[in-house]
Amino acid sequence: MNIFALLIIAMAIIILMLRRHIPIGPCMLTGGLFIWLMKTPELHYLTQAFTETLSLPRTYDIIFALYFVMCLEIELRTSGALAGMVHALQRIFSSNRVTLAVMPAFLGLLPSLGGARFSAPIVEEASKGLGLTSDHQSAINFWFRHIFEFSSPIIPGMIMACNIAGVTYSEFITHLCWLTVLMFSVGWFVLIRPIKADSIKENAGSQAADEQGWQDLWLSLSPVVLTFVLVVFFNMNASVGMGVVTAGLFLVLHFTKREVSLKDVVVGAIDMKMFFNVLCILYFIQILTVTQVLQEIVTAFQSSPLPVPVIIACVSFIIGVLTGMSQGHVAIIMPIIAAMQTGSLNLAGVAMAFGVAGQMLTPTHMCLVVTVDYFKANFFKTLKPVLIGEVMLLTIFPVYTYFTW
């Protein structure tokens, strides 16, 4: 069967299962098993993919990073620091709408899957009284968390892209940073602007409230800053950094008389459904890898008569959809760009823009799984405004690139 027909059928199966409210993990795994059955129905491929999934350090880094960030969220929520931080930000910005957009974006600087789970309760708290649906909250958290994919030097995809494609960080970020501004603007237009202004509470605080608010703000934001330092400057894995910071915050809360139950933190952060979904998705990606599906897609496009930028855009988008992570589409497409034209900012920029668009529109994206699960939102209703936003981005980006190539 043609590889593209096979992928279309697999994605149709996944979508039909999702519409029947089956968890995302089993849906993705079913799609992967269908591809395996139709392409290479040999048991050793499944065994190899399963073994690699369980042996890759990435698997445990993701799971433990997610676990520790859930521990962190419980500590901040039960101590009252999380709600206090949101109230302090509301007084600073004088608008819940700004808080809704800025906080997920700020926490998006954290190079970890867990960041989506960390910003979700902040969005939930900031949106109280605004009459937002869980789907709207979910879309806000998911969209704004990813605006720095094009401009942060610590995003794993950015690090890999620069090294493989042979471009410098400063050049590549300068080349693409306008997309961060554009993505924030599009998100504001699609997701924040429709919120009625008269339903947003203006917050003027007293001196006592301000003092307490600044303490809450420090307690809530310092874990993000410390994790950033540990991951970037001390080269810690995200899971290790989050574990260290989580343990440190527990001690800080104890000495500041904001004690939380250790049992509630350790046990409350165990979400077997979430962990199972994550493992299923990682297994799905590994099935595509060992069966050479990803490589076959690249080969098919390389033999196409289409212009090189169009090929790069299509391959990046499809790989982004299939893998749901920046490392996935970067690792596959950037070596091709390096072979075609080492150091090409234009080709690397096309790959990054369309790859990120693909990962924003797929159930394989871990942040989407985490966000939808937290808000108990509908997957398709969450994705609708995201799709509108990406259509706007992918309309503006090619036009700008064409005239500045």
Residue 328 scores a pLDDT above 60? yes
Q: Where does the pLDDT of residue 197 fall: very low under 50, low under 70, confident under 90, or very high at 90 and above?
A: low
| Pairwise CA distance, residues 27 & 31, whole Å | 6
Q: 99-120 pLDDT, tens per residue?
A: 899 888 887 876 565 567 778 8
Q: 42-94 pLDDT, tens per residue?
A: 999 999 999 999 998 888 888 888 888 889 888 988 888 877 877 777 677 76
Q: What is the pLDDT of residue 113?
A: 57
Average pLDDT, the chain: 86
Scored b (16 or more CB within 10 A) or e, 282-296 reads bbbbbbbbbbebbeb
Q: Where does the pLDDT of residue 220 fall: very low under 50, low under 70, confident under 90, or very high at 90 and above?
A: confident
H runs (alpha helix) in 80-113: 81-93, 96-107
Q: Which of 78-82, 279-283, 334-338 has the highest mean pLDDT?
A: 279-283
CA 356 to chain centre: 10
Amino acid making up residue 398: P
Assess contact for 110 and 227: CB atoms under 8 A: yes
Q: 123-173 pLDDT, tens per residue?
A: 998 888 888 999 999 999 999 999 999 988 777 788 788 888 888 888 898
Q: What percent of the chain has pLDDT over 90?
A: 38
Please classify residue 375 by burial: count the beta carbons closer than 10 Å to its beta carbon, then call 0-12 exposed, 13-18 middle and 19+ buried. Answer: buried
| Pairwise CA distance, residues 335 & 183, whole Å | 26
Q: What is the pTM of this model?
A: 0.77
